[in-house]
Amino acid sequence: MIRVALIGSTGYTALEVARLLLAHEEAELTVATSRADEGKPLSEIHPSLAGRCDIALQPFDPAAIAEQADVAMCCLPHGASAESVRDLATAGVRVIDFSADFRLSSVPLYEQWYGVTHPWPERVGNVVYGMPEFFGDEIAKADVVANPGCYPTSAIMPLAPLVRAGMIQTDDIIIDSKSGVSGAGRSPKLGTLYCETNESISAYAIASHRHGPEMQDLIHRIAGKPVDVLFTPHLTPMDRGILSTMYARPVLQDNDTVQSVTSRLMDELRKTYRDQPFIHVVDHLPATKHVVMTNHVQMTVRVSGPNDQPGRVIIVCAIDNLSKGASGAAIQNMNVMFGIDQMMGL
Amino acid sequence: MIRVALIGSTGYTALEVARLLLAHEEAELTVATSRADEGKPLSEIHPSLAGRCDIALQPFDPAAIAEQADVAMCCLPHGASAESVRDLATAGVRVIDFSADFRLSSVPLYEQWYGVTHPWPERVGNVVYGMPEFFGDEIAKADVVANPGCYPTSAIMPLAPLVRAGMIQTDDIIIDSKSGVSGAGRSPKLGTLYCETNESISAYAIASHRHGPEMQDLIHRIAGKPVDVLFTPHLTPMDRGILSTMYARPVLQDNDTVQSVTSRLMDELRKTYRDQPFIHVVDHLPATKHVVMTNHVQMTVRVSGPNDQPGRVIIVCAIDNLSKGASGAAIQNMNVMFGIDQMMGL
Amino acid sequence: MIRVALIGSTGYTALEVARLLLAHEEAELTVATSRADEGKPLSEIHPSLAGRCDIALQPFDPAAIAEQADVAMCCLPHGASAESVRDLATAGVRVIDFSADFRLSSVPLYEQWYGVTHPWPERVGNVVYGMPEFFGDEIAKADVVANPGCYPTSAIMPLAPLVRAGMIQTDDIIIDSKSGVSGAGRSPKLGTLYCETNESISAYAIASHRHGPEMQDLIHRIAGKPVDVLFTPHLTPMDRGILSTMYARPVLQDNDTVQSVTSRLMDELRKTYRDQPFIHVVDHLPATKHVVMTNHVQMTVRVSGPNDQPGRVIIVCAIDNLSKGASGAAIQNMNVMFGIDQMMGL
Amino acid sequence: MIRVALIGSTGYTALEVARLLLAHEEAELTVATSRADEGKPLSEIHPSLAGRCDIALQPFDPAAIAEQADVAMCCLPHGASAESVRDLATAGVRVIDFSADFRLSSVPLYEQWYGVTHPWPERVGNVVYGMPEFFGDEIAKADVVANPGCYPTSAIMPLAPLVRAGMIQTDDIIIDSKSGVSGAGRSPKLGTLYCETNESISAYAIASHRHGPEMQDLIHRIAGKPVDVLFTPHLTPMDRGILSTMYARPVLQDNDTVQSVTSRLMDELRKTYRDQPFIHVVDHLPATKHVVMTNHVQMTVRVSGPNDQPGRVIIVCAIDNLSKGASGAAIQNMNVMFGIDQMMGL
């Protein structure tokens, strides 16, 4: 039995970890920490766990956690997270970090976008990105895994293989993403009140969201080529799910048609993900409803016409921001780290 | 032109007042106050007003308001509201008070349920309840009007006439109400975050909500008889609207059938509201969607069977909690106070 | 491996069965039938299954099914369902019937409420009601199980034990239920279009819904006493979930207080469900969000006051209409029928 | 009093016309037609009108309508609409056509995209496009007005002035639009059932939606230059509203920065719409919630960086698809046609 510690237990990703572990046969939640709610049962913070997971919240004590857990899921805000990750790793606990603290390749890039001094700079650039579809071998051996961002997951998974294969141009990629509200967290704020977001869609952080550089950095790492993406996130009136609609220019071959380009790109994606149980290259247009409450990903490709003059590539990718975009990916990473079936519990 | 001051401008009822006044031909918003956001344009607080109502927020100054406005809509929390109402009335401004401070008949009842010492006790029991369908003459002359609570509006309008007519028993009335989330206000709280309330319905304040005594008090005042109601509110995943489903026992006559009881009660309601333009006694089962964004009320009556053994009366009433349940009623009251068509702007 | 056939595959309960079986270690979907979509992959009807469950839809052939499956989940409309159940049972397939065809105790009661001649009357009254919390032993041996209705599940589970214990009066029970829209099925109808039901709540089938007699019949069967319930369902703007708010009168004892009555009823429920892993008697007020996407049930009791004069019992119970109210209960029943852990896959 | 006929009364745009006319002081609904529901009161089809607009539905009879109405709002599907428009215009009734039948400049373009033979080809290209912000003078004199499409309104209003001013490149415009479900109409279809669209977002008709050519055609007509747009609509879980996020390349000047480009474009839009009461060029990022249930439009401009290397122009525009995108625009057109204040009733 893999013993799991939850670090920072009050948010939606923490609840999702707890929920998924309830159905996992080879892992169990043994520790849950919270600064503000120490002593309370986890189910008091998350009433859906009543009678199902009532363990008491503990303070954060790396040594104590090292005795009770094999792996920690760290659901803290950036900055604070890196400190806890360092302390846990030092105490010998393997860590899956939900924050962005170890996702980017370099400290300057991190500090430019996150505006804080990194507490453990020597590990930056030296932590595997927790996307088993590309980094499975490294994850299996890792002491620390940087769990991917939600938006980046929806963009990297279809774009990286196509960039790597030289099938789309690297300097003209637009990513228009629509996310459910859970992505904004569980802290009370005016902007995420029901009556502010319900029955409404809006763009935010245009050309300035921190997930933009994460997408660029990871596509570069996976595909071996720098890319330039313009990223616009939108707040969508639903609990969960991300739909990313992406616009790129195809690298054309002689006599290409809309059909030939579409087939070539779909084939490349199908080939890439042939053995990946969570990634589905589909003919229909994915909706977030098709993937929420699962760790699965659906993606497809369209090309604008007219048929003998292929225009732009349009790629649509749907994920669940809390599952494959956060806690589901973390469980998948844990499975890989401990050498069990990556689908277990998912 | 009636000049209107908005006291406390940041909440949903305040926005609804501003919105309704934009379409009102004989009233205009001349003052809007806010402690926290003084100096900002109202449209910065409520972006839907951008370019439509950009007046600057002022501090609360009764003398200054008296020069700029004929009537004040007071959208403050209970307790604080009574103080402002007193100061405005003293300064010669007519006031429509959205709080519960002057709705109940007695100071002890108020202090029992609201847990505060009333700041202006001598006016309690001496302020008209702003329901023009029953108190139109008094409203026309009033210096202060107690604007009705949202849940009470949905319950009093169908129940009071039937109690008054002796058609339902007074000691066994159950009111099961379902409200949209805007009723919970615009202050950031965990319980009204999108992801907490969306896709979920729950009961709250069972047998302990402050609107229970308001219903009893007002039905008593209108019908001339004390009643006993059991009131359960529910938080429903929608912005606006209240549906109240009410259960009572009919006062039976010889040879009554389901049909005869139903007709008698429907007829009584139709007779009561024949000349009331906002109240509709309908044959279909009302949905909140039929009335939201209007000041209209839909109600109907059913009786359980078998046909020759009429059982219980079930009454369904739908209103918009922000309109007829708050700001629409306030505009209607204002219209009556200033002697213009009560439907103007609604 | 338990081999499962899905009879009638296009609706929401069928999808939920397929979804749950994907996570079940000892059962698998081997057959899915559909009259209208024969030959198509199941995932074409339900795109969320793409790449996860692509078996082709078959016509309904009891003999063929008997070779491919150990148990059939019959998701057909009433009337049609009884015929298929008869044919499958005759062919030797154990059946879990989602329709109401075998839930009621007598043919006349069935024919009065469902308006059709029962196709297999000899089995009516002779089929176990699929609620393992009360009928586990019979379910274990059953060839046919009548899977409970969604609303009845939410009402029977808290009410039956209290009626059986003589703690609430049997002649004055009101059940005000609020259901998500999935309960209305997947056939295109005006009434369940997004723009008709979104942002709206409404009552329907007041005092005339078929689940009323089912509640009465089953509480009678479980508690050994006839009861009289008044049932009002409401259509609520959410996908899944039922919240039932129930009003009853307590059977009082000397010196009872609000507190003593509340404790006595909560204790009785806790005792009843002590060993039932899905049923949680909780202190907080349940919301449907706490139970959707699970087979769990949350219930609680409140009593109206004043404290020395206990008034009415208010019971709140939350379930997921598609899970514990349909497909989850079916999986639980299957587990019991085949002697495996009743929580498996749930 | 302008007498208005509603042709085709059962859909959402028809309801919106009826709703808006109830608040219009100088126009009234005198005729409403319906093939399927002849004789029924309009309020039976639309229960929100109960007691407010109960006129009986008539068959379509142009001569009779000519006696009862000054203007007809034609809410029929394309193809059918052109026939009715022709018959009404011939009978002397001025017509506002909600369909696409007279929006495009040429018959071949229409027949290519709509796949039907145009019933009144001689008027195609000879009917004013009902956007008073650009074609007010022609609308004032028109016998027939082609009411704009919903998506085109959200795209043309910000793009046409910028193209006309030569500020954005014409060959690289991407329009990613998100619409509420009411845009899909009121006919029962699987795809618009509540449980199919709720809690989900999806793209549809990628690079093949009929509103793409309408956008190109109209921007060309207004700006005097052909443009190439790539249009992707999305179905968003909300009743009403369209948010269009548009991506274009700026035409740069020497020493341009992100800031200088942003200012130049915002200024051009502000200048264009200075005297247009419904169009608001705002600093904040518009949400559909800011404009639904109004005829107002909010738009803004952002430019991606770094500051000394301005990248792409991102434009966000929010409208209500049923109001400014359909019925509100129709009322505005009617006001202009009859020489009254264009804001009346809006």
What digits encode the pLDDT tens for the residues A275-307?
999 999 999 999 999 999 999 999 999 999 999
Q: What is the pLDDT of residues A18-43, one digit of tens each?
A: 999 999 999 999 999 999 999 999 99
In the predicted model, what is the mean pLDDT of residues A152-181?
98
Euclidean distance between CA atoms D233 and C129, whole angstroms: 48
Percent of chain B scoring above 90 in pLDDT: 99
Q: What is the pLDDT of residues D101-144, one digit of tens each?
A: 999 999 999 999 999 999 999 999 999 999 999 999 999 999 99
CA angle at C142 for the pair C13 and C25, rounded to the nearest 5°: 55
CB atoms closer than 10 angstroms to residue C119: 16
**Domains of chain D from N-terminus onward:** 2-126 (3.40.50.720), 151-321 (3.30.360.10)
Q: What is the pLDDT of residues A238-262, one digit of tens each?
A: 999 999 999 999 999 999 999 999 9
State residue D95's pLDDT score: 98
DSSP assignment string, B140-193: HH-SEEEPPPHHHHHHHHHHHHHHHTT-B-SS-EEEEEEE-GGGG-SS--GGGB
State residue C211's pLDDT score: 97
What stretch of H or E contains B21? helix B12-22
CB atoms closer than 10 angstroms to residue D22: 14
Give the minimum alpha-carbon distance from D345 to chain B in angstroms, rounded to a whole number: 8
Q: What is the pLDDT of residues B57-107, one digit of tens each?
A: 999 999 999 999 999 999 999 999 999 999 999 999 999 999 999 999 999
Active site residues of D: 150
In the predicted model, what is the mean pLDDT of residues D160-185?
97
Task: With cut-offs at 50, 70 and 90, classify the pLDDT of residue A338.
Answer: very high
With both helix axes pointing from N to C terminus, report the angle between D328-337 and D12-22 in degrees, rounded to the nearest 10.
50
Chain centroid to CA B179: how far? 12
Give the minimum alpha-carbon distance from A27 to chain C in angstroms, rounded to a whole number: 16
Are the beta carbons of B6 and B31 closer than 8 angstroms?
yes
State residue C141's pLDDT score: 98
State residue A329's pLDDT score: 98
Give the minimum alpha-carbon distance from D267 to chain B in angstroms, rounded to a whole number: 16
State residue A78's pLDDT score: 95
State residue D212's pLDDT score: 97
Contact B194 A12 (CB under 8 A): no
Contact A51 C293 (CB under 8 A): no
Give the minimum alpha-carbon distance from C191 to chain D in angstroms, rounded to a whole number: 9
State residue B149's pLDDT score: 98
State residue C82's pLDDT score: 97
User: Which 3 state secondary structure label does DSSP give B86?
Assistant: helix
Residue bearing tokens 């950036």 = A78
Name the closest residue on chain B to residue D294, using Cα atoms.
B48
Chain B environment of D291 (Cβ under 8 Å): 48
Q: Is D153 left (phi over 0), alpha (psi -120 to 50) or beta?
A: alpha
Q: Is B79 left (phi over 0), alpha (psi -120 to 50) or beta?
A: left
Contact D247 A247 (CB under 8 A): yes
> What is the 3-state composition of chain B as percent helix, strand, coil, each rounded to the nearest 5?
40, 20, 40
Positions of chain C with pLDDT lower than 50, given as ranges: none
For residue C313, the cross-strand partners are: C248, C303
Q: What letter would DSSP give residue C149?
A: P
In one letter, which amino acid is D66? A
Residue A323: name the closest of A281, A292, A279, A284 by CA: A292
Chain C environment of D12 (Cβ under 8 Å): 195
Best residue in A173, A197, A234 to probe D by mutation, most D CBs within 10 Å?
A: A234
> What is the 3-state composition of chain C as percent helix, strand, coil, each rounded to the nearest 5?
40, 20, 40
Q: What is the pLDDT of residues A115-163, one digit of tens each?
A: 999 999 999 999 999 999 999 999 999 999 999 999 999 999 999 999 9
State residue D143's pLDDT score: 98
Smallest Cβ distance to D198: which of C189, C190, C198?
Answer: C198
Sign, Cα dihedral of B233, B238, B240, B246 = negative
Active site residues of B: 150
Smallest Cβ distance to C174: which of B174, B239, B292?
Answer: B174
Q: What is the ipTM of this complex?
A: 0.97
- Contacts of D99-104 with CB under 8 Å at 24 or more apart are D99/D74, D100/D146, D100/D149, D100/D210, D100/D214, D101/D146, D102/D127, D102/D144, D102/D146, D103/D127, D103/D129, D103/D146, D103/D148, D103/D149, D103/D152, D103/D214, D103/D217, D103/D218, D104/D213, D104/D214, D104/D217
Burial of A22 by CB count in 10 Å (0-12 exposed, 13-18 middle, 19+ buried)?
Answer: middle
DSSP assignment string, D156-184: HHHHHHHHHTT-B-SS-EEEEEEE-GGGG
Q: What is the pLDDT of residues B148-165, one digit of tens each?
A: 999 999 999 999 999 999
State residue D228's pLDDT score: 97
Q: What is the pLDDT of residues A37-76, one digit of tens each?
A: 999 999 999 999 999 999 999 999 999 999 999 999 999 9
What stretch of H or E contains A277? none
Tell me the two tokens of residue D147.
């009411």
Q: Which residues contact D40 (CB under 8 A, 6 or more apart)?
A: D34, D56, D57
Contact A198 B188 (CB under 8 A): no
Q: D: neighbours with 3+ CB pairs under 8 Å?
A: A, B, C
Chain D environment of B23 (Cβ under 8 Å): 23
Contact D298 B50 (CB under 8 A): yes
Max Cα–Cα distance, chain C, nearest Å: 68
State residue A197's pLDDT score: 98
Which residues of B fall below an 8 Å CB-CB distance to D? 23, 25, 47-48, 50-52, 199, 280, 282, 284, 286-287, 289-291, 293-294, 296, 298
Are the beta carbons of C242 and C288 closer than 8 angstroms?
yes
Q: Which residues contact A230 (CB under 8 A, 6 or more apart)?
A: A173, A174, A175, A207, A212, D247, D304, D311, D312, D314
Task: With cut-offs at 50, 70 and 90, classify the pLDDT of residue B337.
Answer: very high
Q: What is the pLDDT of residues B165-191, one digit of tens each?
A: 999 999 999 999 999 999 999 999 999
Give the minimum alpha-carbon distance from A251 to chain D in angstroms, rounded to a whole number: 17
Chain A environment of C294 (Cβ under 8 Å): 48
Q: Which residues contact A187 (CB under 8 A, 6 or more apart)?
A: none
Are the beta carbons of D298 and D291 closer than 8 angstroms?
yes
State residue A74's pLDDT score: 98
Length of chain A: 346
Residue B49: name the closest of B21, B77, B7 by CA: B21
